[in-house]
Structure 1
């Protein structure tokens, strides 16, 4: 007993000695974003680090002595207010390109609220508060003002598929011939026409990020930290590490620099027991059941009546298959089929793990798709905004699911897609193949991310990970200066040949003139 106590004491001392103070920002008012970010926080506090985190959903993590949670749940209301004032709604279909400008604007509003908050001001005024690292979600480069303030390294987390401007900021090669913008939702194998469109939207993404997003963040940063602060672009270019929540089961293979790590799915936890009514319902669905949820942002109640009726009519054609639908109201809609069951809230992770589940109808959010892949469940995707069309097309490309364009939802299309997915085995087989790829890792995503964060701290920002390309101008990176130099040499060489040839010919003997008789 005494020996056990000594061992525990030594371990606690070593743990304390290795612990670091980390300041983290997870400000996006979206439950799925919060799950991924906070999974990394959980791994860090489990490994003995002290983490102060700004989060919209503090209830996701259990209280812990090493966790200092600052609740910014009111961001959900801030976002709703912004949507009302600017006629920007997530309760309808939005073209991916429509999201870029409004999102950049509202992100700056969030950072302004954080910097002006009493919690942040208390942190900044405290002489005793020191941090070893800034950890932030990649949509918020304004958080890097704290990197400069505390003179510490920074690590960025990105919870959605590959976002080109953030990849570029880490020195990763950006080539639109095979790297598709989420705005275009193409695969990595594009036609000539698709490469033209993809190149245009890649440049558009970069333009919005550089000339709209950065200036808005800069204005907020300088408001609280002064005009001598480096720009958010400069600070972002000096991030030590980029952590991507994804892997080759969820995106396409591309070359990544050593400072960019794909850790796989972050947020999936061991299954919990289902509520008794749900457990009985799904256990008794001997012919299988369908799970229908449009995620945490889009509500099932927002689905237009004609499109909802198209689904209900199609569900009636499969009376032996039960349908569990997320419906955020106590009032059921008329003519609901007998095989459809409505619930205001559903434990998605635990439902997707059930053996009788045959199909997941989803909006195609990144975290929802990760869960579908993890549990090997085919998907019928109704993409609505941001990266969802990109995710939907990836599932189609892998023949692990099908997509319905939001404007083309009709009974005939829904029935045809449902019948295809419920009767063809290839979709299930392919999703199980992706599931095997996703799970084939030595450690979980949270543990992998935590290890790399510790690596950055141990190596004082890990400058050895920084590729030299980050110090080149764009024309140097593209070798345009070399091409220009060689072109000038070639021009001079050709001109000299021409000049010498002309002189030589001009000095040749004159033709003999014949005198006339």
Structure 2
């Protein structure tokens, strides 16, 4: 009896001690894309389990009334700007990346104002309303006007991304700018492998042109929005952005193109991977179990949809699938698929991780998204990538470089390419073997990524920031960071010296000719 009492007392004391250190955290994750939100959600829910109280601003709320200490501000209306029937496959085939990026930033600017004008959020950040927080977490992408929320509540900031850092954030936090690095997902010309001089020159010009435009046009527009809603006395949003304590970046070393980063950049990854696989629906379970020769799974994700495929490309997939001895599970977002072969089963929604866990799966045909890549690797499934935009090309190419997948051009793919890719990946067992090795490598790490992110989050709370992780390069001018001033001085000096040498040589030649000419004329006369 006494032992039970002591044990219960210790448990209660531990609980009170744990919750005594609980903090209030504001999470702001604006991008209307579930593939982004599932990464953030995994961390915020884990922090709630640690005893912290959270207020989360998101377009994809959990909406679970059973969750305590977890308040959500719903921004689902932002999907109206992104789900307006835009066919990204068609758009990317016709328009330049620069124009698409400009249009997207314009949309984000509009969305930023809608967020700041949201009644619940306005009530939260209204002056003197008594709201207090210990930390703000924010998605580091293209919404810097939301950063003054941290100033309003006088709290440090933890940034987080669901994909690799954009060039604008690399620059903002003082990370090295490497224009032609394979990890870049937002350059006009993506380069994988060795780049030519002209490719590097083109990317160098494009990157610095983009950063100039971003810093001189887009950031002032965001600053104007911030002042409109928070007042004219707020700090420059660029200063708040560069002083973010840490930035969690959803990248894992074995499946990423590695690049140098400053200390405040902390890699995370695999947050959304299910610890326990949910059972498949009974009818789907039976279909997959009965596919004794194996089955193929195709899904282009949540932002890119199979219904966006052109009629011509769709016909090529249908023709290719009809020649296969395998069942094909195709995530197809319509009720009807014309000329569908008998071995093809279409589904508007699929329990992806449960399908990837099935032992009969041979290959995963996908768009190259990061979360899908992580899921494929975690289940040891070789892939065939059909990338469309942003970081999808990066991940598809990385899978090819690791020998665990193939890549096809979604705009011009034909049935022969599809069949060759499927047969190669399925019949050549080295793809599966290398993918299993990659899975083991991904799992072999000294700590759990989610627990590490929680530790760093609480580290920032305990120390009220992390200025000890700040890079000195963040305060240097752009030209000094890249030593462009030194290159300019050396180049100018070399040009001036070369020009003077050429002029001197030219004058010397003319002088010698002037001296030789009278002598030659004299010789001719004689």
TM-score range, shorter chain: 0.7 to 0.9
The aligned counterpart of 2:522 is none
**Pairwise mapping of residues 86-105 of structure 1 onto structure 2 (< 5 A)?**
89-90=87-88, 92-94=90-92, 96-105=97-106
SS in 2 for 1:59: coil
Distance 1:196 1:449 in 2: 38
Displacement after TM superposition at 1:122 (Å): 1.6
Displacement after TM superposition at 1:486 (Å): 8.6
Distance 1:14 1:133 in 2: 20
Displacement after TM superposition at 1:282 (Å): 1.4
The structure-2 alpha-carbon separation of the partners of 1:385 and 1:9, relative to structure 1 and needing over 3 Å to count, comes to same
The aligned counterpart of 1:137 is 139
The structure-2 alpha-carbon separation of the partners of 1:369 and 1:115, relative to structure 1 and needing over 3 Å to count, comes to same
TM-score, normalised on structure 2?
0.86
SS in 2 for 1:396: helix
Q: Is the 8 A contact 2:183 2:257 kept in 1?
A: no
Displacement after TM superposition at 1:32 (Å): 0.7
The structure-2 alpha-carbon separation of the partners of 1:112 and 1:261, relative to structure 1 and needing over 3 Å to count, comes to same
Identify which of 63, 66, 69 aligns with 1:66. Answer: 69
The aligned counterpart of 2:448 is 444
Distance 2:7 2:464 in 1: 35
**Pairwise mapping of residues 343-358 of structure 1 onto structure 2 (< 5 A)?**
343-358=347-362
The structure-2 alpha-carbon separation of the partners of 1:148 and 1:257, relative to structure 1 and needing over 3 Å to count, comes to same
What RMSD, in angstroms, separates the aligned Cα atoms of the two structures? 2.6
Is 1:49 matched up with 2:38?
Answer: no
Distance 1:89 1:212 in 2: 28
Displacement after TM superposition at 1:97 (Å): 3.6
Deviations 1:147-199 (A, max 9, x none): 12222111111111242221222222222354553133323543334323332
Is 1:232 matched up with 2:237?
Answer: yes
Q: For structure 2, list consecutive stretches of 5 or more residues without a partner in the other structure.
A: 496-526
Distance 1:212 1:344 in 2: 41
The aligned counterpart of 2:508 is none
Displacement after TM superposition at 1:347 (Å): 0.8
SS in 2 for 1:274: coil
Q: Is the 8 A contact 2:385 2:406 kept in 1?
A: yes
The aligned counterpart of 2:190 is 185
The structure-2 alpha-carbon separation of the partners of 1:201 and 1:369, relative to structure 1 and needing over 3 Å to count, comes to farther
Deviations 1:296-337 (A, max 9, x none): 122222222221110111112212x1100112223x223211
Is 1:293 matched up with 2:299?
Answer: yes
Deviations 1:336-360 (A, max 9, x none): 1111111111011111121111111
Q: For structure 1, list consecutive stretches of 5 or more residues without a partner in the other structure.
A: 492-517
Is 1:392 matched up with 2:393?
Answer: no
The structure-2 alpha-carbon separation of the partners of 1:322 and 1:275, relative to structure 1 and needing over 3 Å to count, comes to same
More deviation, 243-252/385-394:
385-394
The structure-2 alpha-carbon separation of the partners of 1:342 and 1:66, relative to structure 1 and needing over 3 Å to count, comes to same
Displacement after TM superposition at 1:481 (Å): 5.5
Distance 1:294 1:481 in 2: 46
SS in 2 for 1:54: strand
The structure-2 alpha-carbon separation of the partners of 1:207 and 1:351, relative to structure 1 and needing over 3 Å to count, comes to farther
Distance 1:333 1:34 in 2: 30
**Pairwise mapping of residues 171-320 of structure 1 onto structure 2 (< 5 A)?**
171-176=174-179, 178=181, 180-182=183-185, 183=187, 184-187=189-192, 189-270=194-275, 271-319=277-325
Q: Is the 8 A contact 1:170 1:242 kept in 2?
A: no
SS in 1 for 2:298: strand
What is the aligned residue count? 487
Q: Is the 8 A contact 1:93 1:384 kept in 2?
A: no
The structure-2 alpha-carbon separation of the partners of 1:476 and 1:303, relative to structure 1 and needing over 3 Å to count, comes to closer
Q: Is the 8 A contact 2:180 2:190 kept in 1?
A: no
Displacement after TM superposition at 1:63 (Å): 3.8
The structure-2 alpha-carbon separation of the partners of 1:446 and 1:89, relative to structure 1 and needing over 3 Å to count, comes to same
Distance 1:268 1:249 in 2: 16
Distance 1:62 1:442 in 2: 36
Distance 2:71 2:194 in 1: 46
SS in 1 for 2:255: coil
Is 1:376 matched up with 2:374?
Answer: no
Is 1:40 matched up with 2:38?
Answer: no
